[in-house]
Amino acid sequence: MILLQQSSLVIWATVSFWSVGMVLLARKVGEGRAYNVCLSSWADLLLAIIPALAAHLAVPNWLAGAAPAFLVVAVLAGVAWQSVTKTCLKYWGDSFHNLLVVPVLVFYVPVSCVMLATTPAKFVAAMLLIASWIGSVVFDNMTGRSNQAAWLIKHGQANGLRWNK
């Protein structure tokens, strides 16, 4: 049981680093300052719990066969999100998140939810995490936070960023 908890923690930490930490690092290196104004990107930390909990479960055969279709949908979701948020590639962190993190989460979270559906309580918990993330995405879109560069400029917070010169 301890080994299972440790492997789940390692998976959660890895997914969290790649979903939030790498975005901040990409912004620091590529744009001159680490920043994050989207609540939904912080909610990625919540979503990272779901694959971590499902890590020890066997993938059902029907789901393993559908993996390529899920992967194509995930990649298209990332490209679509890049288009919807009108993110320019010069915004390194946003582009990294949209084109890499979004597809990974779109692929692994639903697959993991199906694997976690071993009990109603686990399935409900996973759905609540997803609902909180969807709510934060809606909030970000309603408040203009999804286009982080525009939000920073509008609120006078873009000083020192390479693309704001």
45 contacts 132 by C-beta, under 8 angstroms: no
The count of other CB atoms within 10 Å of the CB of residue 20 is 19
49 contacts 43 by C-beta, under 8 angstroms: no
pLDDT value, residue 66: 73
AA letter at 140: D
Nearest to 46 by CA among 24, 15, 23: 15
First CA to last CA distance, the chain: 53
pLDDT value, residue 1: 46
pLDDT in tens, the chain (165 residues): 454 455 667 777 777 777 778 888 888 888 888 888 888 877 777 777 777 777 666 666 766 677 777 778 888 888 888 887 777 777 777 788 778 777 877 777 777 777 777 778 877 877 888 888 889 889 988 998 888 888 888 888 877 777 666
Read off the pTM: 0.71
Each domain of the chain, given as residue ranges in start order, spans 2-164
CA angle 125, 126, 129 (to 5 degrees): 90
Distance CA 24, CA 121 (A): 34
Distance CA 119, CA 86 (A): 40
H/E run at residue 164: none
AA letter at 84: V
